[in-house]
Amino acid sequence: MEFTRHRRLRVSENMRSLVRENHVHVEDLIYPIFVIAGENVKNEIKSMPGVFQISMDLLKAEMEEVVALGIKSVILFGVPEEAEKDACGSGAFHDHGIVQVATRFVKEHFPEMIVIADTCLCEYTEHGHCGVLDEKGSVINDETLVLLKQTAVSQAQAGADIIAPSNMMDGFVAAIREGLDEAGFHHIPIMSYAVKYASAFYGPFRDAANSAPKFGDRKQYQMDPANRLEALREAESDVLEGADFLMVKPAMAFMDIIRDVKNEFNLPMVAYNVSGEYAMIKAAALNGWIDEKRIVMELMLGFKRSGCNLVITYHAKDIARWLKESR
């Protein structure tokens, strides 16, 4: 009888590692950090055990931990005081805005660290939407672009190494590229949240960043989770507008989209393993229902296999620790 003996390549750990197709490296990880106004604040986010809102004075210790673990890039989110929020989210583009101050601080003390700035207005608007509103409460696309451009330039001026716009306005990559170039930041790349779905998986993030919309939802600008071909149209326009990285978000329920986008475009691919995905795994792990390490590493391999190069994940510090231990 003739048949194939697949098991020959699985006989031992060394044999398996010889034929292993995908690996997770610490270089693949981007760690999100929430910087909050105030002093001596380290608030654990209820729905995200192990993730904190951290005030500026405690940021150095946090960054030292990140560096010691070998993590090479962070993405910064700002949590300003409620009283500072306004209709157009001006805290997003002030020179003394919380992300600008945090970026300067990190680049001063950890110059090698790649600092990614999330370019959006929702954390800074009093209504919680990602742009300015018309009288009906709908986000005005083109007026918002002007503010996003200003936000990106101020983030670059503060020293951000990569601009990561997450707002899902049409034309945001073109507007931001133009703004950066005009201000002399030709060398600063754009990591576009090209394919971002209107997702329930962002729930815990909105607790962490106090950025939930006060009314309505984001379905007029973020994508419908039912759509696949539209993802390619979104990615294509961003590539034409000059994106340097493409992101798909969320990750777990959208691995087919990661693969589609990867097959179509030759840019570095990023998956955002979002807050709700982290929360589900942490909750099960804390209940003793799953093996957290094995589940997270399997998921990371899934992301790599589906075609992404980089993963933004709240598990980054855990993963870095596990990778160290296994060496």
Catalytic residues: 196, 249
Under the binding rule (CB under 6 A), the answer on residue 241 touching ligand PBG is: no
Q: Rounded distance, CA 36 to CA 53, Å? A: 6
Determine the interface stretch with ligand PBG among 99-107, 204-212, 229-237, 299-307 (rule: CB under 6 A).
204-212
Cβ 215 to ligand PBG shortest distance, Å: 14
Task: Spell out, one character per residue from 82 to 121, where the chain touches ligand PBG: x when CB under 6 A holds, - when not.
Answer: ------------------------------------x-x-
Under the binding rule (CB under 6 A), the answer on residue 271 touching ligand PBG is: no
Cβ 19 to ligand PBG shortest distance, Å: 34
Determine the interface stretch with ligand PBG among 64-72, 154-162, 198-206, 262-270 (rule: CB under 6 A).
198-206
Beta bridge partners of 271: 248, 311
Among positions 102, 122, 153, 300, the unique one binding ligand PBG when judged by CB under 6 A: 122
- What are 269's two structure tokens? 């691919």
Whether the Cβ atoms of residue 56 and residue 35 lie closer than 8 Å to each other: yes
Whether the Cβ atoms of residue 114 and residue 71 lie closer than 8 Å to each other: no
Number of other CB atoms surrounding residue 98 within 10 Å: 25
Whether the Cβ atoms of residue 107 and residue 152 lie closer than 8 Å to each other: no
Closer CB to ligand PBG, 122 or 255, in the complex: 122
Cβ 117 to ligand PBG shortest distance, Å: 11
CA separation, residue 220 to residues 119, 198, 266 (Å): 18, 9, 29
Among positions 125, 155, 166, 192, the unique one binding ligand PBG when judged by CB under 6 A: 166
Q: Rounded distance, CA 91 to CA 89, Å? A: 5
Q: Which of 99, 120, 101, 102 is nearest to 272 (CA)?
A: 120
Among positions 205, 245, 303, 322, the unique one binding ligand PBG when judged by CB under 6 A: 205
Residue 91 gets which letter from DSSP?
G
Closer CB to ligand PBG, 52 or 202, in the complex: 202
Binders in 127-156 for ligand PBG, by CB under 6 A: 130
Amino acid at 172: F
Under the binding rule (CB under 6 A), the answer on residue 275 touching ligand PBG is: yes
Under the binding rule (CB under 6 A), the answer on residue 245 touching ligand PBG is: no
Under the binding rule (CB under 6 A), the answer on residue 238 touching ligand PBG is: no
Burial level of 313, CB count in 10 A (0-12/13-18/19+)? Answer: buried
Cβ 250 to ligand PBG shortest distance, Å: 7
Q: Rounded distance, CA 298 to CA 304, Å? A: 10
Q: Name every residue whose Cβ is closer than 8 Å to that of residue 306 and which is 6 or more positions away in sequence.
A: 255, 256, 258, 259, 262, 271
Ranked by CB distance to ligand PBG, the top (closest) residue is: 205
Amino acid at 68: A
Total residues at interface with ligand PBG (CB under 6 A):
11
User: Which residues of the chain form contacts with ligand PBG (CB under 6 A)?
Assistant: 118, 120, 122, 130, 166, 202, 205-206, 211, 274-275
